[in-house]
């Protein structure tokens, strides 16, 4: 995570936004007269939202935990993809 103050972020806006998009970097903008903000790519934001959705119910969270445990213990099988 990159931390920059507001003035630095504003003065180098294009560079900071390119760093966010090109390097999947999260930028924390520190503000002296306001709350700090986080700048992240839309892809990163969507991934976080998807994760939150997947773990939003106890049943789904339990199923995901079971699937992870199966993978770790080697209880899985590989399949070839079906191609058209």
The DSSP string of the chain is -EEEEHHHHHHTHHHHHHHHHHH---EEEE-TTS--EEE--HHHHHHHHHHHHHTSSHHHHHHHHHHHHHHHHT-----PPP--
Pick from 7, 50, 51, 9: nearest CA to 26: 9
Taking 90 as the threshold, does the pLDDT of residue 78 lie above it?
A: no
What average pLDDT does the structure give for the chain?
A: 93
Q: Where does the pLDDT of residue 77 fall: very low under 50, low under 70, confident under 90, or very high at 90 and above?
A: confident
Taking 90 as the threshold, does the pLDDT of residue 18 lie above it?
A: yes
Structural tokens at position 1: 């995570």
Q: Where does the pLDDT of residue 84 fall: very low under 50, low under 70, confident under 90, or very high at 90 and above?
A: confident
How far apart (Å, rounded) are the C-alpha atoms in residues 21 and 83?
Answer: 32
């Amino acid at each position: 995570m990159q931390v920059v103050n507001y003035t630095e972020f504003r003065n180098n806006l294009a560079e900071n936004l390119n760093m966010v998009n090109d390097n999947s970097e999260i930028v924390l903008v520190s503000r002296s007269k306001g709350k700090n903000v986080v700048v992240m790519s839309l892809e990163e934001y969507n991934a976080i939202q998807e994760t939150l959705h997947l773990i939003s119910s106890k049943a789904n969270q339990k199923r995901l935990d079971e699937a992870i445990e199966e993978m770790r213990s080697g209880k899985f099988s590989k399949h070839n993809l079906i191609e058209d």
